[in-house]
Structures are given as structure tokens and as C-alpha cells.
Amino acid sequence: MMKPGLSKNSMELRRHLLRFNGEDIVGRMKDSGLQSPVGLIVEMTDPMGKVLTYAAMESNGVPKHEIPELSARYTKDQATPTFLCVVDLPVFKKILSATSESAESNLSKPLPPGYALVVIVAGGGNSYAQVLIR
């Protein structure tokens, strides 16, 4: 049986979210000032995506008790509730390793100069994209 995250619909959803949010997340990555930024595009109705969003918000200093209201406000008018953020690679390795057995190896692969990683979490799976941020 195929895992939900590997289905055609799941992969297409992640492609769609990257196309729709790609320019925005790349701009945020460029403006972040982080040495090793990782862009995160998360479907908030995905159970692991929600856990990942909460962990990312908390790692960026949002008090835990404020996260549910903030995320609800942030996604309320979206057809597909989607959370975007940028985190530093060392922090992100800790966050994502809890969601996927292959996460650490995927995040440890060297990138070409000027490129950074975007991770899309949706439809029960993760996809990775390299984007130019120079």
C-alpha cells in the first residue's frame, strides 16, 4: 500500500503550494539575515504540518500559549490554510527530524553556492526544493 505522502495528489499539492508561495518564501529567506535559511511551507490541515508549525513558531520566540490563536488568524482566509516561515538550518534539523526518518540526511546534503532549501509539508509528506537566494 502506498503511503499517503507519496500519492500523486499529495505530491501535486506540495508542487502547487511551492508554485503559489515560492516567490514569497524566497523573499522572506533573502530578508531573514540568517546564515543558513530554510524556507518552510506547511499545509496547516496536515497533522505533522501543524506540529511542525507549532515547533517553528516556538523556536522563533512565539510563546506556546499564543500559537493556536496566531496560527488561526494567520490562515483563516486561505483556501488551503498554509503557514510560511524561515528558520535557521541547525534549528530546522532538530524540528524536522521528528517528522521523517530521512529528514536529517536530506537536510545534510550540500547545496550549490547561493542556494537554500525550501521544505513543503502537505498531504501527509515532505518535499524539498533548492532555490536561488542570492
Give 114's DSSP letter.
Answer: T
AA identity, residue 93: K
Q: Which three cell numbers stand for residue 85?
A: 516561515
Q: What is the pLDDT of residue 78?
A: 75
Q: How confident is the model at residue 118 (pLDDT cuts 50, 70, 90)?
A: very high
Across the range 100-122, mean pLDDT stands at 84
Query: What is the spatial distance between Cα 32 and Cα 77, in angstroms, rounded to a whole number?
Result: 25
Are 53 and 42 within 8 A, CB to CB?
yes
Percent of the chain with pLDDT over 90: 35
Residue 3 pLDDT more than 70? no
Residue 48 pLDDT more than 90? no
Residue 77 pLDDT more than 60? yes
pLDDT digits (tens, 9 = 90+) for 83-101: 898 989 888 887 776 666 6
Quote the number of domains for the chain: 1
Of 112 and 68, the structure prediction assigns the larger pLDDT to: 112
Query: What is the spatial distance between Cα 103 and Cα 55, in angstroms, rounded to a whole number?
Result: 15
Q: What is the pLDDT of residue 98?
A: 61
Q: What is the pLDDT of residue 2?
A: 44
Cell numbers 542570492 correspond to: 134
Which range marks the domain in which residue 86 is found? Answer: 4-132
Residue 114 pLDDT more than 90? yes
* Angle 91-94-100 from CA coordinates, rounded to 5°: 130
Query: What is the spatial distance between Cα 109 and Cα 93, in angstroms, rounded to a whole number?
Result: 12
Query: pTM of the predicted model, to two decimals?
Result: 0.83
- What Rg value do the Cα atoms of the chain yield, rounded? 14
Q: What is the pLDDT of residue 33?
A: 94
